[in-house]
């Protein structure tokens, strides 16, 4: 078993301490003793990790290590278990010996619970600020307020961070053992890589007025023409690229049902056995046709978490 109890980006040890966000005096004092995570929005929200330890720890700086005026754009993330305040700022990454720049997709699954929570929260908040420089209601410019947890325009119109709910589902046949199969797809929008073809779980945004379970039924039918049953919720994690919450499910379907692709969404889809998925995870070549080998989702994704959940026999009994 993989032993994963939660999706990789759903881990955290942080107390968000939201009551401090509207207390300027407390925030000013906390900044003087802050641990600060630096993210660079011009480099896709990358940050620094140390290269001398495993798992690679995030590099947190002190206020004196940052450019003058950084506190004006500081986002208060919360309090550590020892009471230390943690902030994030959007400034160019400093050149520090023994460090390297990384993105959350690349490193999220390798981080400690503490660091995964800090990086995921900071990146989600940063990406929201980058995309909401103007009020949707008035068109007026907005500025950061409430320690990074809202934006406000000159007329006092305030907006708060938004997260877009999306479902992601591993469809499987319900069969135990190595011959059990799951249905994966290759998104038509993914760039092609010679010799490789990535397959992942089926996913899509939850539409207005729709439940997450209804979105599972709709998206699977729209994308591959298959009806699903026994939908079981597994867990969720933020996916701040730029601002989604991925709601993970398992669902069963009949593998004899013909797969009918929506070519605007899915370029390829097929059923894979546990033997094939296990071989691909072990680094062995699984031929998916056209001279391409099977590539599975990145390790920081909830998609791979769901695949492991099914592969390792963690398929929940429907309630």
Say if residue 201 is in the same domain as residue 110: no
Say if residue 168 is in the same domain as residue 123: no
Say if residue 38 is in the same domain as residue 99: yes
Q: pLDDT (tens digit, 9 = 90+) per residue, 71-122?
A: 999 999 999 999 999 999 999 999 999 999 999 999 999 999 999 999 999 9
Say if residue 291 is in the same domain as residue 169: yes
Say if residue 306 is in the same domain as residue 210: yes
Give the per-residue pLDDT at 128. 97
Task: Give domain status of residue 54, yes or no.
Answer: yes
The DSSP result for 178-222, as a single string, is TT-EEEEEEETTSPPBTTEEE-B-EEEEPPTT--HHHHHHHHHHH
Task: Give domain status of residue 3, yes or no.
Answer: no
Considering 109, 131, 153, which residue would you say is the last residue of a domain?
A: 131
Give the per-residue pLDDT at 313. 76
**Exposure string (b/e) for 250-267, b if CB count within 10 Å is 16 or more?**
bbbbebeeebebeeebbe
Say if residue 115 is in the same domain as residue 230: no
Residue 2 has pLDDT above 70, yes or no: no
Q: pLDDT (tens digit, 9 = 90+) per residue, 277-306?
A: 999 999 999 999 999 999 999 999 999 999
Range of the domain at 126: 8-131
**What would the mean pLDDT of 240-260 be, rounded to a whole number?**
97
Considering 113, 131, 149, which residue would you say is the last residue of a domain?
A: 131
CATH code, domain carrying 291: 3.90.79.10
Considering 131, 149, 184, which residue would you say is the last residue of a domain?
A: 131
Say if residue 193 is in the same domain as residue 112: no
Question: How many independent structural domains does the chain possess?
Answer: 2
Say if residue 168 is in the same domain as residue 260: yes
Say if residue 42 is in the same domain as residue 123: yes
Determine contact, residues 161/127, Cβ cutoff 8 Å. Answer: no
Task: Give domain status of residue 71, yes or no.
Answer: yes
Say if residue 174 is in the same domain as residue 249: yes
What strand order describes the sheet that includes 158-159? 142-145, 150-153, 158-159
Task: Give domain status of residue 319, yes or no.
Answer: no
Say if residue 189 is in the same domain as residue 251: yes
Residue 145 has pLDDT above 50, yes or no: yes
Give the per-residue pLDDT at 4. 57
Determine contact, residues 271/182, Cβ cutoff 8 Å. Answer: yes
Residue 319 has pLDDT above 80, yes or no: no
How far, rounded to the nearest angstrom, does the alpha carbon of residue 70 sit from its chain's CA centroid?
Answer: 27
Q: pLDDT (tens digit, 9 = 90+) per residue, 153-187?
A: 999 999 999 999 999 999 999 999 999 999 999 99
Distance CA 134, CA 129 (A): 10
**What would the mean pLDDT of 53-77 be, rounded to a whole number?**
96
Say if residue 122 is in the same domain as residue 231: no
């Amino acid at each position: 078993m993989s032993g994963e109890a939660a999706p990789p980006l759903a881990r955290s040890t942080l107390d968000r301490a939201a009551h401090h966000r509207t207390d300027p005096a407390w925030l000013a004092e906390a900044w003087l003793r802050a641990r600060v995570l630096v993210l660079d929005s011009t480099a896709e929200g990358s940050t620094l990790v140390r290269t001398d330890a495993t798992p690679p720890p995030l590099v947190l700086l002190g206020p004196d290590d940052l450019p003058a005026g950084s506190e004006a754009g500081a986002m208060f993330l919360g309090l550590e278990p020892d009471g230390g305040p943690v902030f994030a700022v959007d400034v160019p990454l400093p050149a520090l010996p023994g460090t390297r720049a990384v993105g959350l997709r690349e490193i999220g699954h390798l981080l400690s619970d503490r660091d995964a929570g800090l990086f995921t929260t900071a990146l989600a908040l940063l990406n929201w600020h980058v995309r909401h420089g103007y009020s949707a209601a008035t068109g007026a410019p907005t500025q950061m307020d409430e320690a990074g947890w809202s934006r406000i325009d000159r007329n006092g119109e305030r907006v708060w961070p938004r997260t877009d709910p999306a479902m992601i589902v591993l469809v499987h046949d319900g069969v135990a053992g190595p011959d059990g199969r799951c249905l994966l797809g290759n998104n038509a929008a993914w760039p092609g890589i010679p010799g490789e073809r990535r397959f992942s779980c089926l996913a899509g945004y939850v539409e207005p007025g729709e439940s997450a379970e209804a979105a599972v039924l709709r998206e699977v039918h729209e994308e591959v023409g298959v009806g699903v049953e026994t939908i079981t919720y597994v867990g969720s994690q933020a996916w701040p690229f730029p601002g989604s919450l991925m709601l993970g499910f398992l669902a069963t379907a009949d593998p004899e049902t013909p797969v009918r692709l929506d070519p605007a969404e899915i370029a390829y889809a097929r059923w894979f056995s546990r033997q094939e998925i296990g071989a691909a995870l072990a680094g062995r070549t699984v031929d998916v046709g056209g001279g391409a080998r099977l590539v599975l989702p990145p390790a920081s994704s909830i998609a791979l978490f769901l695949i492991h959940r099914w592969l390792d026999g963690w398929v929940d009994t429907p309630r």
